[in-house]
Structure 1
Amino acid sequence: MFVRFVSIGYLCYLVLLVPAIVAQAQLTAPWWTPVAVFAIFGSGAALGLESFRSVTRIKRVAAVNALAYPVVVALWFVAWNGAPASPDDSLWFTLFPGVASFAAVAAWRPRWAVVHMLVAVLLAQSANHVVREAPFSSFLAPDLAFALTFCSLFLAAAVVALGTGRTLDDTIATTHATAAAAAAAEARNAERERFDALVHDRVMSTLLAAARRAPQDSLVQQARRAVDEIDELRAGTDIRTRIDAGTVLARLRSAATEVDEDIAFTVRVDPDCDGTPFPPEPVSVTAAAVAEAVRNSLRHAGSNATRTVDVDIAPRRIAVQVVDDGKGFDPDAVDPHRLGLEVSIRGRMRQLDGGRAVVESTPGAGTRVMLSWQEPAA
């Protein structure tokens, strides 16, 4: 966003300065003006275009643009033919040295951007000084003071703006990492509880039975069940933790009605689901995403909006749609840093193997959040 602002600044200056560029071309060798326009404004346009293509190359393009300005101004002294300029006009490139220093802010550390500004202003105002006839040639000191003061204010604002942006990016990245760590910790706790229960209910009871010299047949069966459950836990196929379609439906309904107890709930369950168990993780993740979708609808759809949850359960598949007829919004205009939509809905489902989340909405036409999970093929 920052380099787009810089690129737009170059475009505005180009439009405003075309008459001056054409008029002052007679002061230099024929090659200098097209080279200068291409190097300064061309690299400025490339900087804006690069922001839509590759974030990783922005700093390099910004550095090229920042260096182009002092190089072009230095070449002006070589290309100048000695003709004086009008005392009422400044050389066209002396009107925006700060814009090039903005590109330097994007490319380098602040201290080097300050050095760039000092060099750019000194070169530009020196050119303005030598091209003028007396008595206007004595204005170098006040011109330098004004240009440095003017550019310094905006350069400082640019440094603060980029620093604030970096802080915001770091904060958002930390928040996402914290949310992911919390989810991982919750999963580890659940796994630890399962393991503790297995150790207590199977392993320790088997060892205790062996210590008490229980009948060999029952002891062997008990030990075999303990070993089988340990294998299931290790392979992630613990059948006892899987739940049936009715329980899946109950959890989804509970997640939605805990947020909005008046929400309409429609259900379609494939008859083939009888006896087909579902793993608990996609059920809990989908239920949490449903709750967040309903919560978002309550907050943003409007007081008169109505909401429905449509659940479709099939073997090895869960699909849920949360629909409202409220205000709606433009999904492309939503800040990607909004945690409710990006982390609590899309992020949850994206981290789920086989999970998917799609948000469809139009201003004034309501919102549809589609959540689905398909068990991957073994």
Structure 2
Amino acid sequence: MAADDRTLKEAWSSIPSQGEVGIGLERFTGQRMERILSTVGAIGSAALGAQALTAAVTRLNQPDAAHLGMMALVFAPLLWMIVACLIGKGVKPAAGTFTVAYAAALAVWPVVVDRTVREPSNQPWIFFLVNIGVVAAMLAFTPRVQLIWALTLPILYGWVRLVQGDFEQSWWISTGFDVTFTIILGSVIISLAWMFRQVAAGVDEARAQAVEGYASAAAASAAEEERVAMSALMHDSVLAALIAAERAGGERERALAVTMAREALTRLANTEASIAQEGSDAPVSRAQIVAELRRTLSEQGVDAVVEERGSAEAEVPGKVARAMVLAARQAIGNALAHAGGRGLHVLAESASPDRLSVTVVDSGPGFDPEVIGEDRLGIRASIIARMAAVAGKSRIDSDADGTTVVLSWEPS
């Protein structure tokens, strides 16, 4: 049995916790915007890259090693960048590699190009990729570096074109037009990307502030409601029971004090239960209790299950069922708050039709129940006192491997 319990605990501890699943959601809009920018960049790069490749192949008069090496230097990183943008992985390394490779290709262009072709108005195939280099810089670098590349690449292209034309006057007009056009278009690309990213960051920040504000307000409201309820109960039921116990002189008075104390503990343990929930004490089936526990897990957003074992026809009194459900809710809340929901597992077991136990297990860091402060009522009032008020039992075992809370009831 011990080996089976250890195997079960190891299996449940391998399930990712709620906190682990939620990592990265604080930048949801920003991540979606980056995905959109990379996808649009891949589509534009593919279109202009195909145009540049067609021009390079059709104008290849001398298919020597220099020209082929130049094409490989440019189009291999470009293909890598397009694939990385489409699959959404390794975008920054691929885009940065293409930016540097394209700048290197521009730098050696005057050495490789055939200078016998004197057509200043006919742009070479490498011109079609100038703004693709700007797009790659936008995907790979910070805004300041992006602006530098948006100016550097067009100016570098203009310089190598003038070198190719030996700085003749006819080359200045067409080259100046090309450089001006690419600088303007590159600046627009960088500005739009910066604007979209700022909007996405603002949405993420507003969402985080709204969630934080709502959580703070909800916590403050719950704490205030609990304080008021606890104060009323302590003033009325609990103190009245203590006074009756102090003044009890005979057997009848002592029995009455015990009854008052039990009722006070019941009301104290069920502080958060509404009057409608208290209802009658008609028998409640195990299926109803399991349904309530599953609803609790669903409301908490926890991907955990409630396992059932033993007699499916088991029933317990209504007060017992309510106390057990509320105590199990508290144990589940403790597992979420202190263990991050790691390895959370709930077991409802019936050894016989009139007996029921609920076990809440997690694989968190554990704690020492003996060192819990006297003012912390999460375990003492909400679990131990609640089960004691209905003549039930509660057992809490906790160590470095996790925490197990067992709630059980059987007829006396």
User: 1:252-271, aligned counterparts within 5 Å?
Assistant: none
Of residues 75, 78, 83 in structure 2, which corresponds to 1:45?
A: 83
**Change beyond 3 A, Cα 1:59–1:182:** farther
Match of 2:189 among 154, 163, 167: 154
Structure 2 residue identity aligned to 1:14? G
Q: Report if aligned partners of 1:244, 1:277 keep a CA contact under 8 Å in 2.
A: no
Where relative contact order (Cα < 8 A, 6+ residues apart) is larger, the structure is 2
- For 1:170, which of 201, 205, 210 is the aligned residue? 205
Give, as a single letter, the amino acid of the residue that structure 1 aligns with 2:46.
Answer: L
Distance of aligned partners of 1:171 and 1:205 in 2 relative to their CA distance in 1, 3 Å threshold = same
* Residue number among 35, 49, 67 corresponding to 1:14 in the alignment: 49
Does the 8 Å CA contact 1:63/1:104 hold for their aligned counterparts? yes
Instruction: Give the alignment of 1:333-352 within 5 angstroms.
Output: none
Give 1:166 deviation, angstroms: 2.2
Alignment pair present for 1:3 and 2:41 = no
How far did 1:37 drift?
Answer: 0.8
Q: What is the distance in 2 between the residues matched to 1:177 and 1:129?
A: 59
* CA distance in structure 2 between the partners assigned to 1:60 and 1:200 by the alignment: 67
1:160 Cα offset (Å): 1.1
Quote the Cα distance in structure 2 between the aligned partners of 1:193 and 1:77: 83
Tell me if 1:116 matches 2:149: yes
Shift in Å, 1:96: 3.7
Q: Which residue of 1 aligns with 2:170?
A: 136
The within-5 A match list for 1:1-378 is 1-26=36-61, 28-49=66-87, 51=88, 54=89, 57-77=90-110, 79-80=112-113, 82-84=115-117, 86-132=119-165, 134-139=168-173, 140-181=175-216, 184=219, 187-188=222-223, 191-192=226-227, 194-209=229-244, 215-223=253-261, 226=264, 273=285, 276=288
Deviation, structure 1 residue 102:
2.8
User: Aligned pair in 2 of structure 1 residues 33, 96: CA closer, same or farther (>3 Å)?
Assistant: closer
User: Shift of the alpha carbon at 1:188?
Assistant: 4.5
CA distances 1:229-264 after superposition (whole Å, capped 9, x unpaired) = 76x579x9x8999668999xxxxxxxxxxxxxxxxx
In 2, are the aligned partners of 1:202 and 1:226 still within 8 Å (CA)?
Answer: yes
Letter in 1 for 2:122: D
The percent of aligned pairs where both chains have the same amino acid is: 19
Q: How much does 1:115 deviate?
A: 0.7
Q: Is the 8 Å Cα contact of residues 101 and 113 (structure 1) preserved in structure 2?
A: yes
Q: Name the amino acid aligned to 1:156.
A: S
- CA shift, 1:184, in A, is 4.9
| Counterparts of 2:100 and 2:279, CA distance in 1 | 66
Q: CA deviation at 1:31?
A: 1.2
**What whole-Å deviation, never above 9, does each CA across 1:314-342 have from its counterpart, x for those lacking one?**
999xxxxxxxxxxxxxxxxxxxxxxxxxx
**Maintained 8 Å contact 2:95/2:140:** yes
Normalization by structure 2: what TM-score?
Answer: 0.51
CA contact (8 A) 2:95 2:136 kept: yes
- Matched to 1:109, the amino acid is T
Call closer, same or farther: CA 1:118–1:196 in 2, change over 3 Å.
Answer: same
State which drifts further: 38-47 or 114-123. 38-47
Of residues 137-146 and 106-115 in structure 1, the stretch that sits farther from structure 2 once superposed is: 137-146
Aligned AA (1:74): A
Tell me the TM-score normalised to structure 1 length: 0.54
1:5 Cα deviation after fit: 0.5
Tell me by how many angstroms 1:3 deviates: 0.9
Cα separation, partners in 2 of 1:38 and 1:286, compared to 1, 3 Å: closer
Shift of 1:44: 2.9
Contact 1:245–1:277 (CA under 8 A) maintained in structure 2: no
Gaps of 5+ in 2: 1-35, 302-312, 316-340, 346-358, 362-405, 407-412
> How many Å apart are 1:77 and its aligned residue?
4.6
Distance 1:77 1:117 in 2: 21
- Contact kept in structure 2, 1:59 and 1:106, CA below 8 Å: yes
1:149 deviates by: 2.4
Instruction: Provide the C-alpha distance between the structure 1 equivalents of 2:248 and 2:291, rounded to a whole number of angstroms.
Output: 37
The offset of 1:227, in angstroms, is 5.5
Say whether the 8 Å CA contact 2:74–2:98 is kept in structure 1: no
1:317-368 deviation per Cα after TM superposition (whole angstroms, max 9, x unaligned): xxxxxxxxxxxxxxxxxxxxxxxxxxxxxxxxxx9x89xxxxxxxxxxxxxx
Could you list the runs of 5+ residues in structure 1 that have no partner in the other structure?
248-270, 290-313, 317-350, 355-374
- Separation in 1 of the partners of 2:314 and 2:91? 48
| CA-CA distance at 1:142 after TM superposition | 4.5
Residue identity opposite 2:171 in structure 1: S
Q: Distance in 2 between matches of 1:156 and 1:29?
A: 35
Deviations 1:291-330 (A, max 9, x none): xxxxxxxxxxxxxxxxxxxxxxx999xxxxxxxxxxxxxx
CA RMSD for the aligned pairs?
A: 4.8
- Deviation, 1:119, is 1.5
CA–CA separation in structure 1 for the residues paired with 2:294 and 2:226: 15
In structure 2, the CA distance between the partners of 1:36 and 1:273, relative to structure 1 (3 Å rule), is same
